[in-house]
Amino acid sequence: MTHLTELSLSEGLAKLNAGELSAVDWTQAYLDRITQTDPAIHAYLTVTDTLALEQARQADEARARGEQLPLLGVPIAIKDAISTKGIETTCGSKILAGYRPVFNATAVERLLQAGAIMLGKVNLDEFAMGSTTENSAYGVTRNPWNLEHVPGGSSGGSGAAVAGGLAAASLGTDTGGSVRLPGSFCGISALKPSYGRVSRFGLIAYGSSLDQIGSLGWTVEDVTRVMQVMAGHDPKDSTSMRLDVPDYLAQLGDSIRGMKLGIPKEYFIEDAIQPEVLRAIRAGITQLEQLGAEIVEISLPHTEYCLSAYYIIAMSEASSNLARYDGIRFGAKINKDDMWDSYRATRGQGFGEEVKRRILIGTYTLSAGYYDAYYGKAQAVRTLVKQDFDRAFESVDAIVTPVAPTTANRFGSASSDPMQMYLMDVFSVSANLAGIPGMSIPCGFDDAGLPIGMQLLGAQFKEETLIKLGHAYQQVTDWHTHRPKPIHA
């Protein structure tokens, strides 16, 4: 018998709607699992158990009155970079210890209005800067498939919470792959929307022109249900697009026969990819072809410049965005006799090493005499990358690639060498540079039993294409049904 915490969001929602399960019972099952196993995984930074049970009680009463809401009674975890009213929001940093926003992020508010239940806030690389969740000031998060391996990052807590049976779904953020990488490493589905499709209001900024809030769950249907609720224009976010939101759920079950899928030759360099990952992705492509899709090779010629351009832009924007954390308005403060000494002490002790490294690099690339050589040139490369994708989507409906060159690495193997950590993002940053949607879906396991994710990329504001494609794949495969062995703390 399937344990309540092993249900997908869609399975649990079906049971709620059929009267076979109460929101209180489902929520309590997750809270019990968190108590039992999260000391070993450390996905959560804050567990809002009293609030969650009260929201669950209200959800059951609403359902009894006949109310119908898209996520009524569904327990969800929220990445700790997303503002939650009255609930500590640290961004994984000591500099924001004790910070409690006075408002909810728009994405959170829309989930709550749709009936979702907030289980708590989950761990991340500090200020979303990292690919392994080793950079959090509050300890590492471990991969439920193997506790000696990372869950990916920066939304590692979001990925581990779903894979560990600690939430039915979760919200993460994706600046250069931070939703898709944990999706791949944790064996779950993850969707990064197009830039401007989901409001960024209330998201604590890392790279403002790159950040997006995304969803993680066991299945494509799960992340679609969350996406359907979050998407849409928000006047509080100047980058939010005034576009109609398609009925994403209506795409579930549609045939992919006749769709053209591009395979970029620049993403399939055998020497650069773990052999099991390459085999799994190729097997996934074959499966899509058997479903009626046409496979064509394409070229994205500026791919080799993506990683460099991404890190210059991201670090430059981080340098600007994180200047506000000076101990004056909110967060930690270390008092000194001189104002500038207070600034230096607060920022020097409040920020972790990786954050300080990125601020320093970003400040350099924005400085007089270097702006045009670095930031300006990186933005020019970004335009070329977007043009590559625009041309590709004139002839194909979607693009298929690996999410990452390897499966989840062991702790310490990347954090000790920042360049190794940055290289994990080599296949994912291009989607953020171009502002297009990306999805990770489980497609296999390596010889050590660690999950492998396949990446689907679509044209801007064509999330429905990825949803249709990913769901069709999951109807004929069972990778998304696998669960890690139970963990006992």
pLDDT at 419: 64
Q: Indicate if the pLDDT at residue 277 is higher than 60.
A: yes
Query: What is the percentage of the chain residues whose pLDDT exceeds 90?
Result: 89
Cβ contacts of 452 within 8 Å, gap of 6 or more: 184, 276, 277, 280, 281, 407, 442, 443, 444, 445, 446
Which helix (H) or strand (E) segment holds residue 224: the answer is helix 220-230
Confidence of residue 336 (pLDDT cuts 50, 70, 90): confident
Q: Indicate if the pLDDT at residue 1 is higher than 60.
A: no
pLDDT at 90: 97
The residue type at 146: N
pLDDT tens by residue, 70-82: 999 999 999 999 9
d(CA 214, CA 195): 11
The CATH superfamily assigned to 4-261+394-481 is: Amidase signature (AS) domain (3.90.1300.10)
Rounded CA Rg of the chain: 21
What is residue 61's DSSP assignment? Answer: H
pLDDT at 489: 64
Supply 9's token pair.
């969001």
Cβ contacts of 252 within 8 Å, gap of 6 or more: 220, 221, 224, 467, 468, 471
Confidence of residue 416 (pLDDT cuts 50, 70, 90): low
Q: In angstroms, how far is CA 272 from the centroid of its own chain?
A: 24
d(CA 221, CA 253): 10
d(CA 158, CA 178): 10
Closest CA to 322 of 263, 363, 365: 363
pLDDT at 450: 98
Mean pLDDT of 311-326: 95
Q: Is 14 helix (H, G, I), strand (E, B) or coil?
A: helix
- Please state the φ and ψ torsions of residue 364, each to the nearest 5 degrees: -65, -45
Catalytic-residue membership of 79? yes
Region of 340 (left: φ > 0; alpha: ψ -120 to 50; beta: rest) is alpha
Write down the catalytic residue from 154, 194, 240, 316: 154
What is residue 245's DSSP assignment? Answer: P
pLDDT at 422: 72
Tell me how crowded residue 337 is: count the other CB atoms within 10 A of its CB: 6
| HEC sequence for 344-385 | HHHHHHHCCHHHHHHHHHHHHHHCCCCCHHHHHHHHHHHHHH
Q: Indicate if the pLDDT at residue 415 is higher than 70.
A: no
pLDDT at 334: 82
Q: Indicate if the pLDDT at residue 121 is higher than 70.
A: yes
The residue type at 112: L
Tell me how crowded residue 290 is: count the other CB atoms within 10 A of its CB: 9
d(CA 233, CA 466): 21
Most confident range (mean pLDDT) of 294-303, 319-328, 338-347 is: 294-303
Torsion of CA 413, 417, 419, 420, to 10 degrees: -10
pLDDT tens by residue, 90-112: 999 999 999 999 999 999 999 99
Would you tell me the crossing angle of helices 220-230 and 106-113 to the nearest 10 degrees? 110
Mean pLDDT of 236-240: 98
Confidence of residue 345 (pLDDT cuts 50, 70, 90): confident
Mean residue pLDDT of the chain comes to: 95
In sequence order, what are the beta bridge partners of 442? 453
pLDDT at 340: 79
d(CA 364, CA 397): 40
Write down the catalytic residue from 8, 22, 79, 158: 79
CA triple 416-149-7, angle to 5 deg:
145
Write down the catalytic residue from 22, 158, 178, 430: 178
Length of the chain: 489
Query: Considering Cα of 120, then 125, then 126, then 129, what sign does the dihedral take?
Result: negative
pLDDT tens by residue, 349-385: 889 999 999 999 999 999 988 999 999 999 999 999 9
pLDDT at 333: 80
pLDDT at 292: 98
Q: Indicate if the pLDDT at residue 188 is higher than 70.
A: yes
Closest CA to 214 of 236, 201, 238, 230: 230
In sequence order, what are the beta bridge partners of 170? 77, 216
pLDDT at 486: 86
pTM higher than 0.95 for the full model?
A: yes
d(CA 426, CA 407): 14
The larger pLDDT score, comparing residue 424 to residue 399, is at 399
Confidence of residue 195 (pLDDT cuts 50, 70, 90): very high
Q: Which residue has the tokens 């708590």?
A: 120
pLDDT at 315: 97
Cis amide leading into 319 (omega within 30): no
Q: Which residues of 314-336 are buried (b: 16+ CB within 10 A; e: fewer)?
A: bbbbbbebbeebbbeeebbbeee
- Lowest average pLDDT, out of 33-37, 291-295, 335-339, goes to 335-339
Catalytic-residue membership of 178? yes
The residue type at 386: K
Asked if 158 and 186 touch (Cβ cutoff 8 Å), the reply is no
Pairing of strands 213-217, 438-445: unpaired
d(CA 438, CA 458): 7
d(CA 28, CA 121): 17
Catalytic-residue membership of 22? no
